[in-house]
Structure 1
Amino acid sequence: MLTRLTRTATTLTLTAGMLAAAPIAQAQDIDFSEMTPEQTEAFGAQVRAYLMENPEVIMEAVSQLEAKQAQQQAANDEQLVADNADALFRDGYSYVGGNPDGDVTIVEFSDYRCGYCRRAFPEVEELLESDGNIRFILKEFPILGEASVTSSRFAIATMLEAGPEAYKSIHDALMTLEGEPSEPVLRKLAGTLGLDADAIIARMSDEEITQRIQETRALAQRMQINGTPSFVFGDQMLRGYVPLENMRDVVEEIRSES
């Protein structure tokens, strides 16, 4: 991160300097392609002097660059959502909660072992409950090791064996589970929720589960998603944890534009 910021700052400094010094260069009628070493040195001194006297120029350039990059990223993300709409919104197997007929759709890529996913979990639940008009799609995206994969396989096996309501119960329990998802722990979890632990665990090795996880990983790669949580709000992508109030703001923005 520091290296990237340093490169950006350096580039912006030079850009700001060139822009600021352009009137000076024009006044002296300097041909940049034919500048002598002495002229180059003098020009550099002028640029440095200007920036030292007007350091706010650098921050203005940084701000403009960041705004331009954000616009470009948003446009790119919107295209990614459009290109992958079927896999995102209509894959036929991901859990659909909230209001299935809601006017705004949210997709979350989540990992049960992700601390920020766990932090977002109650806030997403609050958003869905308090709004009442959001369609929510959950993508099993285990990327943090074997425990993540085990948890996802158990959750998907529950979906296959007992249906979406049972899946949601298991999902919620796994999001707050302390410790490792060992077989005894998963058996106890299923039993506590009144589910058939033997049947669910027997299905965890199904090839269909492997295929679903692989398809979600492939989708994430196409969407340039490499971390959790990652969200799609309508046609917008939000990478990383998003506080509840920010999520509400995005939902209202989407509604205001529809």
Structure 2
Amino acid sequence: MGVVIKPKGQVLERSEKMQLKRVGKSAVRRPELRQTVIALCASVLMFSCQPVAADMTDKQFEERLRSYLLAHPEIVLEAMKTLSERERRAAQTAQITKHADMFEQTPILGIGPDAAPHTVIEFFDYRCAPCKALHPKLQAALKDHPTIRVEMRHLPILSPGSERGARFALAAKNVGSPAKYRSVHEALWTLKGPLQESTFEKIALEHGLDWPAVRAEMKSDAVSERISTNRDIAVDLQILGTPAFVTPTSVSFGGTDAEALVAGWLGFRSHQP
């Protein structure tokens, strides 16, 4: 976010005044923020259209800075907003780093080349209509960016059926193979009816899976642990809905603009080794 300077003498909106008061209180409580804001404002002054004389004393500079801030008090608010966003991003990146191993796991289910050097993790739910609506657009948007892989992870949170579906898909992977897992996933992804056992049995038999073995695996510790781990990561990253996309430096939530999502992901690549 760039610093926005209003014309001299322009009256601040009431909401801006309230935010400015909060900024002032925050700066008092946190001296390091006050020093950062002063430095930012000084930088703006130094590079403004009003040149700083080389022989200006510290006192003269401080007086000029004070005058500038009195004329443009909203710049403090803008600077604090910028600083707050930087701090938020840094904190978010630190949280994501705790789960960095999820970017290193073998690709099994997703969009894009398996060997792509950069991975985005998508958390999804089989009952998530926006997830399903977004995928064709994502596939099209990623065709021109073979360096990005979107790897899908189960986050069943919308209904009991969501968890049954996730358990069935993961059980099919464990009992069968990655290929069986992908084919079962596709059947669930396009399913119009309820996510229930009779449906799972039909899908399992259609794809050549041992249904009794799959049904038993659905209740296994391995499947439960996978779902629990995904939920723990979601809670830690404050993911409250699907689809959610995680890069090594960001968490974003899906909408309808796949091009905008991909454009945002292109920026994280420089942060990955």
> What TM-score results when the alignment is normalised by the length of structure 1?
0.68
Structure 1 residue 12 corresponds to structure 2 residue 16: yes
**Alpha-carbon distance in 2 for matches of 1:255, 1:186:** 39
* Larger relative helix fraction: 1
**Which residue of the partner structure matches residue 92 of structure 2?**
77
- Matched-pair contact (CA < 8 Å) for 1:114–1:144: yes
Q: CA deviation at 1:130?
A: 4.6
- Matched-pair contact (CA < 8 Å) for 1:104–1:251: no
**Alpha-carbon distance in 2 for matches of 1:10, 1:225:** 33
How many pairs were matched up? 213
Please list every run of 5 or more consecutive structure 1 residues that lacks an aligned counterpart in the other structure.
1-8, 20-56
Structure 1 residue 140 corresponds to structure 2 residue 154: yes
Deviating more after overlay: 145-154 vs 113-122: 113-122
**Which residue of the partner structure matches residue 110 of structure 1?**
124
Q: CA deviation at 1:243?
A: 2.1
Q: CA deviation at 1:230?
A: 1.0
**Alpha-carbon distance in 2 for matches of 1:139, 1:83:** 17
Q: CA deviation at 1:146?
A: 0.7
Sequence identity percentage: 27
Q: CA deviation at 1:62?
A: 7.8
Please list every run of 5 or more consecutive structure 2 residues that lacks an aligned counterpart in the other structure.
1-12, 24-72
Query: Which residue of 204, 207, 217 corresponds with 2:231?
Result: 217
Q: CA deviation at 1:211?
A: 1.2
Instruction: Provide Cα deviations, 1:177-222, integer angstroms capped at 9, x if missing partner.
Output: 1121122222222334444434322321112111111111112122
Q: How does 1:44-63 map to 2 (within 5 A)?
A: none
Q: CA deviation at 1:227?
A: 1.6
**Which residue of the partner structure matches residue 251 of structure 2?**
237
Instruction: Provide Cα deviations, 1:46-81, integer angstroms capped at 9, x if missing partner.
Output: xxxxxxxxxxx98x8887665554333322221112
CA gap of 1:12–1:124, structure 2 versus 1, over 3 A, is: same
Q: CA deviation at 1:156?
A: 0.3
Letter in 2 for 1:100: D
Instruction: Provide Cα deviations, 1:154-182, integer angstroms capped at 9, x if missing partner.
Output: 01001101121221222222222112112
Q: CA deviation at 1:148?
A: 0.5
The two structures, once aligned, show a CA RMSD in angstroms of 3.4
Partner SS for 2:251: strand
**Alpha-carbon distance in 1 for matches of 2:174, 2:143:** 26
Q: CA deviation at 1:121?
A: 2.5
**Alpha-carbon distance in 2 for matches of 1:192, 1:67:** 55
**Which residue of the partner structure matches residue 206 of structure 1?**
220
Letter in 2 for 1:159: K
**Which residue of the partner structure matches residue 120 of structure 1?**
134
Q: How does 1:185-204 map to 2 (within 5 A)?
A: 185-204=199-218
- Matched-pair contact (CA < 8 Å) for 2:97–2:248: no
CA gap of 1:243–1:233, structure 2 versus 1, over 3 A, is: farther
Partner SS for 2:181: helix
**Alpha-carbon distance in 2 for matches of 1:199, 1:226:** 33
**Which residue of the partner structure matches residue 48 of structure 2?**
none
Deviating more after overlay: 209-218 vs 152-161: 209-218
